[in-house]
Homo-oligomer: A and B are copies of this chain.
Amino acid sequence: MNTFGQFLRLTTFGESHGPAIGGILDGMPPRIHVDKDKVDAMLARRRPGAGGACSSRKESDRIRILSGLTPDGFTLGTPIGFMIANQDARPSDYSDSAGLFRPNHADFTYQQKYGIAASSGGGRSSARETANWVAAGAIALSILNPEGISISAWISGIGPWKADDIYSGQSDRETIGRIAEEARSEGDSVGALVSCRIKGVPAGLGEPVADKLQSRLAAAMMSINAAKSFEYGLGREAAGAYGRETADIPVPDEDTTGGITFATNFSGGIQGGISNGEDIYFSVAFKPTPTLMQPMPTVDRKGRPATLLPRGRHDACVGLRAVPVVEAMASLVIADMLLASRLPLKAQCR
């Protein structure tokens, strides 16, 4: 239950405060060039920023690839094993809370499911795990980019602010920083909306019944810590829409492979579970970081009332760091579906 994908399969391991996290990316076709620097660069985007809104935990993550590549960076077609060291784990930061259930965390549900707890920190439920996903998603981009497929996510809302057009690709760094900093300075946290656009996906990816493209994207996005909603195309507004106003009319277009394009894209690039060649766009809402930097009422593992005192280092803005995670998960899904499609790959050198 730690494996994503069917043709391109990512299996991961690692507790947040153990020696390392890592994974195995299996199913990478042979003869694809992987640029390790690009992987590290995407990991760097996930790293807590210098800004006040984010955790001061230092995660200068670099991927260590243990297998699956030639010395000059070409895939062998064998599984890519990788590790990311937990350089800055400080279990003692968490020791006081070891006996308490942190509100809004997975402490209680882990206790109910496993009956045993990692000695400190969030264990497997920590957002630290998303570093594995970003590393693997960045590797998967090595398949997608040569096909002309690009993936871009951004913050389209945070707390009281929301972009006029959440799919414009425009963000507002200043407002976002201000709102996150305000929350942090009050020991509070705040939610965010992340929007994403995938360009260049060929028509024909996805399966019509059990692995619809939107189903796979939804599953991937709802796997990200703190995600509370997924919507694509018309999204939740679809419930209020009328058919006449939202029909995507096909029109002739000699420049496309299929000979047609669409006058509008209310469908979000997917029809009947299968990509139609238009942009795929979707958004994901993230709840506020559950950890607050203020005393919180709770209970201990015996059910007795207690107070959780703020400790450790945490973001006020889990949504902000989710941007590259959203891109990475989308990358894994699209690459998986591309491989499932049996289309030839431009990226494969001979």
Contacts and interface: CB of A to CB of B under 8 A. Distances in A.
Which 5 A-B pairs rank lowest in CB-CB distance, beginning with the nearest? A106-B272, A13-B81, A189-B243, A229-B231, A243-B288
Contact of A272 (B109, B191, B210, B242): B109
Interface in A255-280: 257-260, 266-268, 270-277
Given A116-B74, A229-B230, A188 B251 contact: no
A83 B66 contact: yes
Contacts of A189: 242-244
A215 B222 contact: yes
B110 A272 contact: yes
A18 B298 CA distance: 49
Contacts of A346: none
B231 A228 contact: yes
A204 B296 CA distance: 24
A274 B223 CA distance: 11
A101 interface: yes
Interface string A208-235: 1111101111111111011111111111
Interface stretch (A20-28, A50-58, A145-153): A20-28
A218 B71 CA distance: 36
A11 B22 contact: no
A20 B124 contact: no
Most buried by B among A71, A228, A242, A288: A228
Contacts of A162: 239-240
Contacts of A277: 112
Interface string A57-96: 0000000001110110011111111010000000000000
A61 to B, nearest CB: 15
Copy total for this chain: 4
A76 B233 CA distance: 28
Given A204-B112, A248-B103, A299-B251, A273 B13 contact: no
A244 B189 CA distance: 7
A68 to B, nearest CB: 7
Given A67-B13, A109-B275, A118 B215 contact: no
A238 B229 contact: yes
A286 interface: yes
A116 B2 contact: no
Nearest to A111: B258
A15 interface: yes
A302 B258 CA distance: 9
A289 interface: yes
A207 B125 CA distance: 10
A36 to B, nearest CB: 14
Contact of A243 (B240, B244, B289): B289
Contacts of A124: 76, 78, 208-209
Taking each of A20, A243, A272, which has the highest tally of chain B beta carbons within 10 Å of its own beta carbon? A243
9 contacts: A2-B24, A20-B81, A106-B272, A108-B260, A189-B243, A231-B231, A242-B288, A246-B288, A252-B303
